[in-house]
Amino acid sequence: MSRHLWSETYDRELEDIFEVQDDIAQSVVKELRAALLGEKPDASATAAVKAEVQAATKGRAESAKAYPLYLQGLFFGDRITREDLAKAIEYFRKAIELDPGFALAWAALSRAHMHEAGYSLAPLDKGFDRARQAAKRALELEPDLAEGYVALGLVQMNYDWDWQGADASFRRALELAPGNAEVMRSAAILAGTVGRYDEAVALARRAVVLDPLSMSAQRSLGALCLRAGLLGEAEAIIKKAIEFHPQGGLLHCWLGRVHLAQGRIEEARAAFDKEVIEYFHLQGLALMEYTQGRREKSDAALRDLIDKYAQESAYQVGEVYAYRGEVDAAFQWLERAYAQHDPGLSSINSNALLRSLRGDPRWQPFLEKMKLAD
């Protein structure tokens, strides 16, 4: 079948790239439906194939020049470093300038702004406001755009802490695009946040199967496996992601946390040392110095983290204090994180670094305030 399919010739100008894509997609879908479903290539089947392809192209660019800019933005946006996210936002904006109705670019711009704010690379309130407005614009342009619902759901989850609203957005996205890896990845994160760990890991695994080269899909699966206690799987998937993306943000941090949970201290330190996002690198250093009995050096790394990133990374500071057993200081920083709407708090329920807080009488009220209590 594949030899027959790919022996066809598509002789068009580059400006007709979308027509070529549609022709190829329709040919592939038609052959698959015939082979797997025994469907005869009649008029009804042809109409069904066209409908499937049209549904898959929702929100696409009209401009052939805007589309490559969008793809470049996706590449850089997946890496979540300061420089890469700035490039991603620039590419998405250029794509939108060329094609203001490019709904997918608006949704991708929303995610880039969300990541920029969520990882302390832009002011939290302004960054999430930009993300919200871009998501809304994507849905205004294409009301049935799965990526638009994902972008909105990420804002609802990471900034509003509106778990029900986010769940509804992701479920709608899954209805619209059940085979979309980014939709599954985002739904997995929400499921993990509210304690549905089996569902979270299953969705994240499916996202990696659908898009095995996606760093964000691999990173999310690794983090969710870590939270679920599946340390071997977490280590394997994160190491695989690092092979493809050695400078990817958060990958070495998550690997360090996996090794820390495994008791492999020297390997944990080596991983934290390679983390490219500085405040996660400093946090890892504070954790490792304490683990290895060097309290003064742990204090120095923690002071450095606070001096540089107190406004953006209150949650990470709280994690360090909790890990070191300094419960009062940990709760003070968690309260500060709450006041700042720190997105990190969405992982509070499954965070092993916060284990020392769970017997404290302040723990359950804090979860209730976050609407994450059982």
One-letter amino acid identity for 98? L
Say if CB 277 and CB 80 are below 8 A apart: yes
162: confidence class by pLDDT, cuts 50, 70, 90 = very high
CA distances to 111, 279, 326, 339 from 360, rounded to whole Å, are: 36, 27, 12, 20
- Please give the single-letter amino acid code of residue 160: D
Q: What is the mean pLDDT of residues 257-280?
A: 97
Which of 15-19, 166-170, 246-250 comes out lowest in average pLDDT? 15-19
pLDDT > 70? residue 236: yes
pLDDT at position 13, please?
56
Mean pLDDT, residues 165-173: 97
Please compute the mean of the pLDDT values over residues 236-264 and round it to a whole number: 96
pLDDT band at 42 (very low <50, low <70, confident <90, very high): low
- Domain ranges in the chain are 2-55, 246-304, 310-374
pLDDT digits (tens, 9 = 90+) for 145-159: 999 999 999 999 999
Q: Are 157 and 189 in contact (CB under 8 A)?
A: yes
The predicted model scores a pTM of 0.83
* pLDDT tops 90 at residue 5: no
Res. 7: pLDDT tops 70:
no
Tens digit of each residue's pLDDT (9 = 90 or more) over 192-208:
999 999 999 999 999 99
pLDDT at 2: 44
For residues 92-121, give the mean pLDDT. 95
The pLDDT, as a whole number, for residue 9 is 54
Residue 105: pLDDT band (50, 70, 90) is very high
The pLDDT of residue 292 is above 60: yes
